[in-house]
Structure 1
Amino acid sequence: MDIVIVCAVIASLFLVIGAAEPLASRLRLPFTVILAILGILIGLAATFFLRTDLTDALNPVAEAILGLPIRSNVFLYVFLPTLLFQATLGMNLRRMLDDWVPIMVLAVVAVVVATLSVGYALSWVSTLPLAACLLIGAIVSTTDPSAVVSIFRSISAPRRLSRIIEGESLLNDAAAIALFGLFMGFVMLGMPEPELGAALRQFPVLIAGGAISGWLAARGAIWLMTLFSAHELAIISVSVALPYLAYIGSEQIIGASGVIAVVAAGLTLNLAGPGRVPPQAWNYLGEVWNLLAHWAGALIFILAALLIPRLLEGVRFSDFILIGVIVIAALAARAVVLFGLLPLLTLLRLSPHVERPYRTAILWGGLRGAVTLALALAVTESLRVPVEVKRLVGILATGFTLFTLLVQGTTLRSVIGRLGLDRLSPIDEAMSRQVVAVALQTVREDVARTTEDYALTHEVVRSEAKAFGERLEKAVRDTEAADDILDRDRITLGLIALAGFERDMILARVRERTISARMAEQTLLDADRLIEGARTGGRSGYQRAARRSVAYGRGFRVAGLLHRRVGLSGPLVRLTADRFERLLSQRLTLRDLDAFIEGRIRRIHGRRVAELLLELLGRRIEMVETALDGLRLQYPGYAEELERRFIRRTALRFEEREYTAIREDGLIGAEVYTTLMQDLSARRALAEGRPPLDFAMRRFELVRQFPLFADLDDKTARRLGRALKHQYVDAGNIVLRKDGVVKGVFFIASGAVELESAGQTWRLGRGEMFGQIAILMKHARRAEVRAIAPTTLLVLDQARFRSLLKRSASLRAAVRSSAEKRGIDPDALLSDKPADP
């Protein structure tokens, strides 16, 4: 085939792709549906011109179109890794974890149910062997999100709905292709009745092998990116190689799922990349991958559509009945999972609630696309598959794909409209009205100043001011007409706006490099949860999200368990250092939110709402300060090191700004500017490094770290180390209650506690003790002690404590000091008379 003609055809396809997007927007149809229609028309036109006697002038072009090297491997090895990898890079993974149960149910369970449902339904109504029927079921069980998500974004559908569908489609490709490989093997071996138990037992092996290989490939790529951190193009080149090497290595070397390998590699890079790759290079990498995925997605659709006329050759009337059976079986299987299994899991508190309109949209939005056609093409290309099976696989898979695209795809927008998912909630409508009113008032003031500055014609200004004033008055009337909005809803609106502004501030700080890229994702996730919490739960939802942002999660408990039981400190060190930086970033952002409340929210929602928001903000700041105090007490000096790091990075940002301003003023040339920026980048790389945090503990060394035991000799210190008992307490748990019996003295090895007695509160950190007052004093006032950080305590029984108190002057001095702080006579406390039992 002439390479010139091939290049011309491919270039023409890019023109078709360019024209399809505005055409889809004008016709209000999904972009992929337009591509599929155009591809079918091009394929039909090429076939027509080759078979007609009207003209031979277009025959070379038609031959080039129909002779394009479109094989299943082109889709699976060239286009699919690009689409999967970009999808994982663009996902907010931590938000998806909130809905991981419904996503996994739809991505794995729904695929298996659809495969079995379609397979057994076909085996009952056709003469195909069961293995071939299950193969068709696996082929049609994978969904394509591109058409659905594009519709959702165009009509501002709920973000959660888009996240669920994107997460499902990302993972169900892997599940469907893994099942396809299993049943394809049975068909080629001529096994009409496959052993489903053996097939399903192989399924986890394919998944696990792909996940491990993808993770290893991503870790290697991240290591290379770190080495090439000063070269953006090198970083992007490594990222382009990653999905293909992961896919090929997993498929050809390990024999596992290449799709899972690509997904695992993308997830790993998504989570670890922002902290290891410079922010500018990471943003550039995302833009490049968005473009690559757009081209790959468009080409895979239009090339797959070119095959549809060929795949439908020889279609019979009975085939339409089988297509109808597949449609009914696939929709029924999806409905059972969505309306049967998911509500059951919610009832058992194993899954978050998914609203009924969401489930209906997900049901009708299960469109099939290029992956289904590519798998069907792989079957038709195989020489080991019977001819009749190949014919039916091509026709049934293609027919079902056309049904989902041309019927479900074209009606999905109206279905979403009927479900009310394209309309703003009453709260959002109220917010939009108030925002318009305030914005127009600000614009009017700005326009008035502009007309004065430029001395515009008085008549023009007056006519335009009149028209603008009428619009402003209408907006004010609409807002006043909505005065029936409850104060509770106004508070919700204010909290949503406050959390949104907090998110914008975080993004600005990341661009300025005041907040590190490593912390950007975590802090943005916290802001997103605040927005979602306020939107769904109002004030209480916002407060729950705020508490969650400073709480110790399951990861801390697992890391603490590894540290205590196995001696593996790395995860706990990393999580603790992350928590330090995260809390400092939160404090940095929260301190500036009061100006937004006073300046913006007060104007929109009034004084009462603003005052309440200031009160809630004050509580959040107090929570963050308490959490920081706990860490400072636990690890003295580390917070100060992080604050010094923040000051150094801020100074570098100011320095960069000055160099840029001087360069723009023409005071220095490009050579000098480049040299200065290179030196600045080198110093910034050093400033990005986080100070080490080390809290490994050994009994003897730990005892020696306590100032209380500074005067003990080595023999006594070792004996004391053997007598001390370890006790670990999670943050928020009570160590001692006011009505409890104190049987020993507690020494804080790591962590921090809050002691409350007689209306007063003290915070104690590493190296301090509590419980001694209750043991030594008659009629001691009981205190409640609560851990404010994961805390490791060393407990000494009261008999050994009294014996040690007689030997150690340092311990007596500490007891005396603590008694004086609490207004207790230290001489009475340290007398030799024993306390009442």
Structure 2
Amino acid sequence: MHGLSDVVILLAVAVLGAALARRLGLLSPIVLVVVGLGLSFIPGFLDVHLEPDLVLVGILPPLLYIAALETSVPAFRTNIRPILLLAVGLVLFTALLVGLVVHLLLPAVPLSICVAFGAVVAPPDAVAATAVARRIGLPRRLVTILEGESLINDASALVLLRVGVAAATGPALDALQVGQEVLVAAGGGVVVGAIGFFVFAQLHKRTRDPLLDNALSLIAPFAVVLLAEPIGASSVVAVVVTGLGLGHKLPVLMSAGSRLQMGAFWRLVRFLLEGLVFVLVGLQLRDVLSGLDRPLGTVAAVTGAVLGTVFLTRFVWVFPAAYLGRLVPRTRRRDPVPPSFPAVIGWAGMRGVVTLAAALALPLSLPGVPSYSRNLFVWIAFAVIVFTLVVQGATLPTVARMLRVPADDPTQDALAEAGVQQQAGRAARKRLEKAADGAPEAVVTRLRQLIEDRTNTAWERLGGDERETPSQAYGRLRQEMIDAEREVFRQARDDGRIAEEVLVRAYRDLDLEESILRRSER
């Protein structure tokens, strides 16, 4: 990219594309990729060359970090078996099968580099999986499994890519050396991630300024990457471990103001980076096509074979992995799997920008192998990304509806929330009575009523009555009052009766109250 103006243009395209997707009711990753594909052929538009380091060091770490922060550690732990089967087992299975297929079609290319290319196209994308799964409202457990897979699979794929390239370009590696490489990458990533968690947890615990907390949060993923890369540890694993730990401990590490501000900050960062990623993928088409140096028949044959292998291997792996362990009755009773779950997981194999960046990281040439063509592999990787995003991503909502995937029961969520809210109310009342000595009785009475209102609101969500509930009536009427208060403050500022700082302070308080009202309406 050539300067700040290019970045601004790309971000503007990403924002407009996301707005168009929302207006049309489509998934934004698909719309943004298609927009990028179209723009790549406009003469004079930005000539953007995607650099692997830009993706793997500049874009991927913050996206993985925010995804890890928002991942439930208890849910991740509960679903660790299917997550590891997908993130490690399926990546290895796909890489080996794709490598064998490519080696059969291109026998002059070493098997090691073919398997390395298989690792390039093996991992579904973290950004695409999260964006699509949450957008179409898949059950919570499915979302956890897909997000967990996408958090870890990049690490296993990149380690396998590193081993395959090393075997193809250097002296032969034996099993011990491969094991050492994997141990350093995975184990080192865990250790670096744990160090990152400890350091930033201590920093967050000692910081009460929301701006400083946000700055630390932005620095964290990049600091972990810079610590992991020089020692050969997996930066992906390190960022995920740090994010999972901090996300789990966030309620006790940060002040309320820091949590609120950080949530808004990372939502904006993720929105912009996700949009930028998919536009960048689409914009690479012109460069990828111009680099092809093989006959069309060869290109079509290898591309079709890889697409078919990538698509089928996921289903071949997912169904046995889902059901073989449940031949044991105890496991089947403890962990039932609806028949639609494996089918949806199999279909949700969208690849993304990491696949393209990894393909660009393949060696430009191989000594003694004149038939090797990185450009061909880059094209196939690009075709896999576009096919899985546009075809599988666009049809995943339809597949989920056809399979009648059982949705999460909102009544169960509301019942659990109401029960915990009642318990929290009792704890709050007990704490109030203990601390109320010397406080005005009117204040204590008002706080008791607040506890009761919050508990009642939680139980109201269980009701099926179509009439307006007391909390809904309160929200509607209080919103009218807030609008009236805002108008008075604005008019007073315009008349010169209050300073701008007074208006800002009043609006901030009213905005916070309105955000609480809107949250309670969901």
TM-score of the two chains, using structure 1 as the length reference: 0.49
Q: Give the structure 1 partner of residue 266 of structure 2.
A: 289
Q: Give the structure 1 partner of residue 392 of structure 2.
A: 408
Alignment of 1:651-730 (within 5 A): none
- Decide which of 397, 415, 419 is 2:381's aligned counterpart: 397
SS at 2:137 equivalent: coil
Note if 1:310 corresponds to 2:287.
Answer: yes
Alignment of 1:737-816 (within 5 A): none
Q: Deviations over 1:682-734 (max 9, x none)?
A: xxxxxxxxxxxxxxxxxxxxxxxxxxxxxxxxxxxxxxxxxxxxxxxxxxxxx
Pair 424,249 (structure 1): closer, same or farther in 2 beyond 3 Å: closer
Q: Give the structure 1 partner of residue 92 of structure 2.
A: 112
Q: Give the structure 2 partner of residue 368 of structure 1.
A: 351
Higher relative contact order (CA 8 A, sep 6+): 2
Note if 1:76 corresponds to 2:56.
Answer: yes
**Once the 2 structures are TM-superposed, how far is the Cα of residue 598 of structure 1 from its aligned partner?**
8.6
Larger Cα-atom Rg: 1
Alignment of 1:570-581 (within 5 A): none
Give distance in 1, aligned partners of 2:317 and 2:427.
Answer: 41
Q: Give the structure 1 partner of residue 27 of structure 2.
A: 30
Q: Give the structure 2 partner of residue 501 of structure 1.
A: 418
Note if 1:94 corresponds to 2:77.
Answer: no
SS at 2:123 equivalent: coil
SS at 2:79 equivalent: helix
Does the 8 A contact of 1:110 with 1:334 survive in 2?
A: yes
Give distance in 2, aligned partners of 1:594 and 1:299.
Answer: 43
Does the 8 A contact of 1:502 with 1:593 survive in 2?
A: no
- Aligned residue type for 2:227: G
Note if 1:162 corresponds to 2:143.
Answer: yes
Q: Deviations over 1:132-189 (max 9, x none)?
A: 1101110001102434443443443212111111111111111111111111222332
Does the 8 A contact of 1:30 with 1:147 survive in 2?
A: no
More strand by share: 1
- Decide which of 249, 256, 275 is 2:252's aligned counterpart: 275
Question: Superposition RMSD on alpha carbons, in Å?
Answer: 3.6
Give distance in 1, aligned partners of 2:15 and 2:145.
Answer: 29
SS at 2:41 equivalent: helix
Q: Deviations over 1:499-541 (max 9, x none)?
A: 23345668999999x79xxxxxxxxxxxxxxxxxxxxxxxxxx
Alignment of 1:503-582 (within 5 A): none
Note if 1:420 corresponds to 2:420.
Answer: no
Note if 1:250 corresponds to 2:260.
Answer: no
Q: Give the structure 1 partner of residue 213 of structure 2.
A: 235
Alignment of 1:471-482 (within 5 A): none
Does the 8 A contact of 1:90 with 1:286 survive in 2?
A: no
Give distance in 2, aligned partners of 1:276 and 1:131.
Answer: 46
Pair 331,197 (structure 1): closer, same or farther in 2 beyond 3 Å: farther
**Once the 2 structures are TM-superposed, how far is the Cα of residue 592 of structure 1 from its aligned partner?**
9.4
Give distance in 1, aligned partners of 2:458 and 2:57.
Answer: 53
TM-score of the two chains, using structure 2 as the length reference: 0.76
Q: Give the structure 1 partner of residue 341 of structure 2.
A: 358
Pair 328,296 (structure 1): closer, same or farther in 2 beyond 3 Å: same
Q: Deviations over 1:805-835 (max 9, x none)?
A: xxxxxxxxxxxxxxxxxxxxxxxxxxxxxxx
> What is the total number of aligned residue pairs between the two structures?
445
Q: Give the structure 1 partner of residue 241 of structure 2.
A: 264
**Once the 2 structures are TM-superposed, how far is the Cα of residue 380 of structure 1 from its aligned partner?**
5.9
- Aligned residue type for 1:259: V
More helix by share: 2
- Aligned residue type for 1:115: A
- Aligned residue type for 2:352: G
Give distance in 1, aligned partners of 2:458 and 2:378.
Answer: 61
Does the 8 A contact of 2:117 with 2:377 survive in 1?
A: yes
Give distance in 2, aligned partners of 1:132 and 1:114.
Answer: 14
Pair 361,224 (structure 1): closer, same or farther in 2 beyond 3 Å: same
- Decide which of 169, 182, 186 is 1:188's aligned counterpart: 169
SS at 2:362 equivalent: helix
**Once the 2 structures are TM-superposed, how far is the Cα of residue 591 of structure 1 from its aligned partner?**
10
Pair 236,335 (structure 1): closer, same or farther in 2 beyond 3 Å: same
- Aligned residue type for 1:177: L
**Once the 2 structures are TM-superposed, how far is the Cα of residue 240 of structure 1 from its aligned partner?**
1.3
SS at 1:44 equivalent: coil
Does the 8 A contact of 1:380 with 1:393 survive in 2?
A: no
Give distance in 2, aligned partners of 1:501 and 1:327.
Answer: 48
**Once the 2 structures are TM-superposed, how far is the Cα of residue 125 of structure 1 from its aligned partner?**
2.4
Give distance in 2, aligned partners of 1:359 and 1:177.
Answer: 25
Note if 1:39 corresponds to 2:36.
Answer: yes
Unaligned runs of 5+ in 1: 50-58, 432-492, 516-588, 606-663, 675-837
Does the 8 A contact of 1:132 with 1:389 survive in 2?
A: no
Pair 273,603 (structure 1): closer, same or farther in 2 beyond 3 Å: closer
Q: Deviations over 1:606-641 (max 9, x none)?
A: xxxxxxxxxxxxxxxxxxxxxxxxxxxxxxxxxxxx
